[in-house]
Protein backbone atom coordinates (compact mmCIF):
# COMPACT_ATOMS: atom_id res chain seq x y z
CA UNK A 1 0.00 0.00 0.00
CA UNK A 2 1.14 3.54 -0.75
CA UNK A 3 2.51 5.54 2.16
CA UNK A 4 1.03 8.83 0.95
CA UNK A 5 -2.34 8.74 -0.76
CA UNK A 6 -4.28 11.50 -2.47
CA UNK A 7 -7.92 11.66 -3.44
CA UNK A 8 -9.23 12.26 -5.99
CA UNK A 9 -6.57 11.44 -8.59
CA UNK A 10 -8.33 13.47 -11.25
CA UNK A 11 -10.95 16.17 -10.99
CA UNK A 12 -12.64 18.42 -13.50
CA UNK A 13 -14.65 21.30 -12.10
CA UNK A 14 -16.09 24.64 -13.11
CA UNK A 15 -15.07 28.15 -12.23
CA UNK A 16 -16.44 29.24 -8.86
CA UNK A 17 -16.86 25.77 -7.40
CA UNK A 18 -15.40 24.77 -4.05
CA UNK A 19 -12.97 21.89 -4.28
CA UNK A 20 -11.26 19.84 -1.61
CA UNK A 21 -8.23 17.65 -2.22
CA UNK A 22 -7.40 15.14 0.47
CA UNK A 23 -4.14 13.61 1.57
CA UNK A 24 -3.36 10.83 4.03
CA UNK A 25 -0.05 9.36 5.12
CA UNK A 26 0.73 6.21 7.05
CA UNK A 27 4.36 7.02 7.80
CA UNK A 28 3.71 8.70 11.13
CA UNK A 29 5.33 11.93 9.96
CA UNK A 30 4.63 15.23 11.67
CA UNK A 31 5.40 17.35 8.63
CA UNK A 32 3.03 17.59 5.67
CA UNK A 33 3.06 19.76 2.56
CA UNK A 34 0.98 20.78 -0.44
CA UNK A 35 2.65 21.67 -3.74
CA UNK A 36 1.46 22.72 -7.13
CA UNK A 37 3.23 21.71 -10.35
CA UNK A 38 2.68 23.44 -13.68
CA UNK A 39 4.16 22.31 -17.04
CA UNK A 40 7.78 23.37 -17.37
CA UNK A 41 7.93 24.56 -13.80
CA UNK A 42 9.12 22.98 -10.63
CA UNK A 43 7.03 22.38 -7.57
CA UNK A 44 5.79 25.44 -5.76
CA UNK A 45 4.85 25.25 -2.11
CA UNK A 46 1.27 26.22 -1.27
CA UNK A 47 1.01 25.40 2.44
CA UNK A 48 2.91 23.30 4.93
CA UNK A 49 2.27 22.02 8.42
CA UNK A 50 4.90 21.06 10.96
CA UNK A 51 2.33 19.52 13.30
CA UNK A 52 -1.41 19.48 13.83
CA UNK A 53 -1.44 22.95 15.39
CA UNK A 54 1.11 24.54 13.08
CA UNK A 55 0.03 25.70 9.61
CA UNK A 56 2.17 27.93 7.43
CA UNK A 57 1.74 29.68 4.11
CA UNK A 58 4.08 28.81 1.30
CA UNK A 59 5.02 30.73 -1.84
CA UNK A 60 1.58 30.70 -3.48
CA UNK A 61 -1.11 30.41 -0.80
CA UNK A 62 -3.56 32.98 -2.25
CA UNK A 63 -6.80 31.29 -3.28
CA UNK A 64 -6.09 28.18 -1.21
CA UNK A 65 -6.75 27.06 2.35
CA UNK A 66 -5.78 23.94 4.28
CA UNK A 67 -6.89 21.88 7.23
CA UNK A 68 -4.77 19.48 9.27
CA UNK A 69 -7.45 17.22 10.69
CA UNK A 70 -5.02 14.79 12.30
CA UNK A 71 -1.36 13.91 12.14
CA UNK A 72 -2.07 11.68 9.17
CA UNK A 73 -4.45 13.94 7.23
CA UNK A 74 -3.90 17.24 5.46
CA UNK A 75 -6.49 18.61 3.05
CA UNK A 76 -6.28 21.45 0.54
CA UNK A 77 -9.29 23.55 -0.43
CA UNK A 78 -9.96 25.89 -3.29
CA UNK A 79 -12.81 28.05 -2.04
CA UNK A 80 -13.74 29.37 -5.47
CA UNK A 81 -11.81 27.64 -8.22
CA UNK A 82 -10.49 29.62 -11.18
CA UNK A 83 -8.97 28.37 -14.45
CA UNK A 84 -5.40 29.35 -13.57
CA UNK A 85 -5.57 26.89 -10.68
CA UNK A 86 -5.55 24.10 -13.25
CA UNK A 87 -2.44 22.12 -12.32
CA UNK A 88 -1.04 18.94 -10.83
CA UNK A 89 -1.19 18.99 -7.03
CA UNK A 90 1.09 16.97 -4.81
CA UNK A 91 0.93 16.22 -1.13
CA UNK A 92 4.06 15.18 0.74
CA UNK A 93 5.17 14.28 4.23
CA UNK A 94 8.55 14.21 5.91
CA UNK A 95 10.18 13.16 9.15
CA UNK A 96 10.96 15.65 11.88
CA UNK A 97 14.06 17.68 12.28
CA UNK A 98 17.45 18.03 10.71
CA UNK A 99 18.29 16.02 7.65
CA UNK A 100 14.92 14.28 7.74
CA UNK A 101 13.36 17.44 6.37
CA UNK A 102 15.24 16.88 3.11
CA UNK A 103 13.52 13.61 2.29
CA UNK A 104 9.90 14.26 1.54
CA UNK A 105 7.61 11.41 0.54
CA UNK A 106 5.21 12.42 -2.18
CA UNK A 107 1.79 11.16 -3.08
CA UNK A 108 0.85 10.25 -6.67
CA UNK A 109 -0.68 13.65 -7.37
CA UNK A 110 -4.13 15.03 -8.19
CA UNK A 111 -4.71 16.44 -11.64
CA UNK A 112 -7.18 19.32 -11.33
CA UNK A 113 -8.80 21.02 -14.29
CA UNK A 114 -10.89 24.14 -13.79
CA UNK A 115 -13.08 25.02 -16.75
CA UNK B 1 16.33 37.27 -5.10
CA UNK B 2 16.51 33.60 -4.29
CA UNK B 3 16.44 31.16 -7.13
CA UNK B 4 17.26 27.55 -7.82
CA UNK B 5 17.45 26.88 -11.52
CA UNK B 6 18.81 24.51 -14.12
CA UNK B 7 21.01 25.03 -17.18
CA UNK B 8 19.31 22.63 -19.58
CA UNK B 9 15.68 21.57 -19.83
CA UNK B 10 16.44 18.26 -21.63
CA UNK B 11 19.47 15.96 -21.57
CA UNK B 12 19.76 12.97 -23.87
CA UNK B 13 22.35 10.26 -23.17
CA UNK B 14 23.15 6.78 -24.42
CA UNK B 15 22.46 3.83 -22.18
CA UNK B 16 25.61 2.95 -20.30
CA UNK B 17 27.09 6.43 -20.47
CA UNK B 18 27.45 8.70 -17.47
CA UNK B 19 24.96 11.56 -17.07
CA UNK B 20 25.63 14.94 -15.53
CA UNK B 21 22.69 17.15 -14.56
CA UNK B 22 23.52 20.69 -13.51
CA UNK B 23 21.85 23.22 -11.26
CA UNK B 24 22.71 26.82 -10.42
CA UNK B 25 21.63 28.47 -7.21
CA UNK B 26 21.84 32.04 -5.97
CA UNK B 27 21.08 31.72 -2.25
CA UNK B 28 24.39 31.16 -0.50
CA UNK B 29 22.55 30.87 2.85
CA UNK B 30 21.14 27.43 1.98
CA UNK B 31 22.16 24.65 4.36
CA UNK B 32 21.24 21.69 2.19
CA UNK B 33 20.95 20.91 -1.49
CA UNK B 34 18.81 18.01 -2.56
CA UNK B 35 18.09 16.07 -5.74
CA UNK B 36 14.72 14.53 -6.58
CA UNK B 37 13.66 12.28 -9.44
CA UNK B 38 10.19 12.35 -10.94
CA UNK B 39 9.14 9.54 -13.24
CA UNK B 40 6.22 10.02 -15.58
CA UNK B 41 2.89 9.91 -13.75
CA UNK B 42 4.46 9.76 -10.31
CA UNK B 43 5.36 12.06 -7.49
CA UNK B 44 8.97 13.15 -6.98
CA UNK B 45 11.29 10.78 -5.16
CA UNK B 46 14.29 11.73 -3.03
CA UNK B 47 17.66 10.71 -4.46
CA UNK B 48 20.41 12.29 -2.42
CA UNK B 49 21.26 15.40 -0.44
CA UNK B 50 24.41 17.28 0.46
CA UNK B 51 25.09 19.65 3.29
CA UNK B 52 26.51 23.03 2.36
CA UNK B 53 29.81 22.36 4.17
CA UNK B 54 30.55 19.39 1.90
CA UNK B 55 31.89 19.27 -1.67
CA UNK B 56 30.92 15.76 -2.66
CA UNK B 57 28.64 13.00 -1.59
CA UNK B 58 28.18 9.58 -3.15
CA UNK B 59 25.25 7.25 -3.22
CA UNK B 60 24.42 4.18 -5.20
CA UNK B 61 25.44 5.06 -8.80
CA UNK B 62 24.96 8.75 -8.05
CA UNK B 63 27.32 11.47 -6.95
CA UNK B 64 26.41 15.02 -6.02
CA UNK B 65 29.02 17.74 -6.33
CA UNK B 66 28.72 21.16 -4.77
CA UNK B 67 30.83 24.11 -5.87
CA UNK B 68 30.07 26.99 -3.56
CA UNK B 69 32.50 29.33 -5.30
CA UNK B 70 30.37 29.42 -8.43
CA UNK B 71 27.12 28.38 -6.72
CA UNK B 72 26.78 25.26 -8.80
CA UNK B 73 25.35 21.83 -7.99
CA UNK B 74 25.53 18.73 -10.15
CA UNK B 75 24.17 15.20 -10.09
CA UNK B 76 26.23 12.53 -11.77
CA UNK B 77 24.63 9.22 -12.66
CA UNK B 78 27.00 6.41 -13.53
CA UNK B 79 26.18 3.86 -16.22
CA UNK B 80 22.83 5.43 -17.04
CA UNK B 81 20.00 2.95 -17.46
CA UNK B 82 16.59 3.25 -19.14
CA UNK B 83 15.02 3.39 -15.68
CA UNK B 84 16.89 6.63 -15.06
CA UNK B 85 14.72 8.41 -17.63
CA UNK B 86 12.83 11.02 -15.63
CA UNK B 87 12.76 14.68 -14.70
CA UNK B 88 15.35 15.63 -12.12
CA UNK B 89 14.86 18.55 -9.74
CA UNK B 90 17.35 20.24 -7.52
CA UNK B 91 16.10 21.85 -4.34
CA UNK B 92 17.56 23.83 -1.49
CA UNK B 93 16.69 24.29 2.15
CA UNK B 94 17.80 26.31 5.12
CA UNK B 95 17.86 25.10 8.71
CA UNK B 96 16.32 28.33 9.97
CA UNK B 97 13.09 30.12 9.23
CA UNK B 98 10.74 28.30 6.93
CA UNK B 99 12.94 25.20 6.60
CA UNK B 100 10.87 24.09 3.60
CA UNK B 101 12.30 23.02 0.26
CA UNK B 102 12.55 25.39 -2.70
CA UNK B 103 12.57 23.47 -5.99
CA UNK B 104 14.13 24.34 -9.33
CA UNK B 105 12.31 23.89 -12.63
CA UNK B 106 13.73 20.48 -13.58
CA UNK B 107 15.79 18.75 -16.27
CA UNK B 108 14.39 15.93 -18.33
CA UNK B 109 16.83 13.03 -18.79
CA UNK B 110 16.21 10.83 -21.80
CA UNK B 111 18.16 7.59 -22.02
CA UNK B 112 18.61 6.30 -25.56
CA UNK B 113 18.98 2.52 -26.03
Summarised one tens digit per residue, pLDDT across range B19-32 is 999 999 888 889 99
Mean pLDDT for all residues in chain B: 90
d(CA A101, CA B100): 8
Question: Where does the pLDDT of residue B5 fall: very low under 50, low under 70, confident under 90, or very high at 90 and above?
Answer: very low
- A95 and chain B: CB distance < 8 Å anywhere? no
Question: B1 pLDDT exceeds 60?
Answer: no
Min Cα distance A110 → chain B (Å) is 10
Cβ atoms of A58 and A48 closer than 8 Å: yes
- B102 and chain A: CB distance < 8 Å anywhere? yes
Residues with Cβ within 8 Å of A73's Cβ and at least 6 positions away in sequence, in order, are A22, A23, A24
pLDDT tens track, chain A, 115 positions: 569 999 999 999 999 999 999 999 999 999 999 999 997 778 999 999 998 999 999 999 999 999 999 999 999 999 999 999 999 999 999 987 777 889 999 999 999 999 9
Could B44 and A106 be called an inter-chain contact, meaning their C-beta atoms sit closer than 8 Å? yes
Return the pLDDT at B3: 45
Question: B4 pLDDT exceeds 70?
Answer: no
Residue range B85-102, pLDDT digits in tens: 999 999 999 887 777 899
Residues with Cβ within 8 Å of B110's Cβ and at least 6 positions away in sequence, in order, are B10, B11, B12, B13, B85
Which chain B residues have a beta carbon less than 8 Å from that of A98?
Answer: 95
Return the pLDDT at B105: 84
Return the pLDDT at B28: 84
Distances (CA, A) of A65 to A34, A75, A78, A85, B26: 10, 8, 7, 13, 30
Amino acid sequence: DADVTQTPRNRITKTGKRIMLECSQTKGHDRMYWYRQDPGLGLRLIYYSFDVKDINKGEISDGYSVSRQAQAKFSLSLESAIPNQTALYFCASSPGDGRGLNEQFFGPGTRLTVL
Amino acid sequence: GESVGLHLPTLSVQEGDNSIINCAYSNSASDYFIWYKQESGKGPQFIIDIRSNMDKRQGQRVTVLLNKTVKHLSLQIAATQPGDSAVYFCAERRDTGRRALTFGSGTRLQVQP
